[in-house]
Amino acid sequence: MKRSMKGVLFAGFAAVAVSGSAIPAVNADSGPPIEGQVQNYEPLPTPVEAPDVTVLTKDGGETTLDRFEGKFVVLNFWATWCGPCIRELPSLDRLNAALPDDKAQVVLISQDRGGFKQTERFLNKLKVNFPDNFIDDRLKFSRAIGVVSLPTTILIGSDGKEVGRLVGHAEWDSEEALALVNWYLDRDQAAIEKSGS
């Protein structure tokens, strides 16, 4: 169970309150809001299927993104030797705590070669908690999805398709980032309601 985060509320996927200031709902027809902290975000005109390539799990197994089917995923590629990655991890942790557990989550994929002993020690030192973090030790998944530099954060819709990405550092719990994620959550929810009608 994720810890609660005071001052952050996802209410009906229509508005987000951050430290008392409300972010208005964004018209889904106008495209995702891209400004401020997420001004380098590049939405895809047409979502594309995420590659079916495995990454390593903490229990010594392998998995694919299929395990998150039905959830919106903020997929972050990082490494312990990447300075900008380290700077944005705390904000990703706060974003993860704010997301509705049943609808969305942050997932980390490390490019470190030192295994989970190295990455877990590092994450513990930063005092961040990501239950779902994996290692792409041979970079097969990173290459398949087109990651060329770190950090890279890819947004994956609940249907398993990439909707866009941001290359470089961002404060993922900023108002702009929350508005961007909320826009996609709104859109996913509208699609679910439409398909159920």
Helix (H) or strand (E) holding 160: none
Mean pLDDT score of the chain, rounded to an integer?
Answer: 86
What pLDDT score was predicted for residue 197? 55
What pLDDT score was predicted for residue 29? 56
The residue type found at 12 is G
Which residues make Cβ contacts (< 8 Å) with residue 194, sequence separation at least 6?
none
Q: Within the chain, which residues score under 70 in pLDDT?
A: 1-29, 197
- What is the secondary structure of 98-154 as a DSSP string? HS-TTTEEEEEEE--SSHHHHHHHHHHHHT---SSEEE-TT-HHHHHHT--SSSEEE
Superfamily of chain region 8-196: Glutaredoxin (3.40.30.10)
The residue type found at 42 is E
What pLDDT score was predicted for residue 12? 34
